[in-house]
Amino acid sequence: MIAHDIAKNKKLPAKYDGLTEALLEDAERAFAAEDTAREHSDKLIRSAERVKNANDGRELADFLKARAADEQRAAEWLAQKRVHHGLHVYRYEQMSDGSVVALYVTDKHPKTVKFKAFDSITEASEWSPREER
């Protein structure tokens, strides 16, 4: 089946040119999510400090602090997810014969697009990259 050949050779047909590069870019952003959340939280705190003494600034400062707390919680949750599930970015591509190749990147191997073949979309749908950890 087509997907099995693709997974074996780790090479997609020409119509998918650029797809693995795009997936790696998405993965790079996703796997930096903890840092992204913390940096955004710090930025919101700094903004809250700047506006707190302005006219009507207290309400905005409180809003910014609440959002900063959300980002801190997100960073903590991401750290838990790394342990429980791993972080991953993935997609399914269905071939003309109905077979499916899953392309995935995990935080354990963030620079590598991996391939996994399935006989059908039904079979592929039950899978997620955390099963490969």
Which residue ranges make up the site for other proteins (CB under 8 A)? 23, 26, 30-31, 33, 36-37, 39-41, 67, 70-71, 73-75, 77-78, 80-81, 84-85, 87-94, 100, 121-122, 124-126, 128, 130
The tokens for 91 are 């997609």
Between 53 and 80, CB nearer to other proteins: 80
Between 53 and 62, CB nearer to other proteins: 62
Q: How far is the CB of 9 from other proteins (least distance, A)?
A: 20
The tokens for 106 are 């995990």
75 Cβ neighbours under 8 A, 6+ residues apart: 33, 34, 37, 38, 41
Q: How far is the CB of 50 from other proteins (least distance, A)?
A: 19
Q: How far is the CB of 46 from other proteins (least distance, A)?
A: 14
Between 41 and 53, CB nearer to other proteins: 41
Between 61 and 71, CB nearer to other proteins: 71
Q: How far is the CB of 31 from other proteins (least distance, A)?
A: 7
Q: How far is the CB of 4 from other proteins (least distance, A)?
A: 17
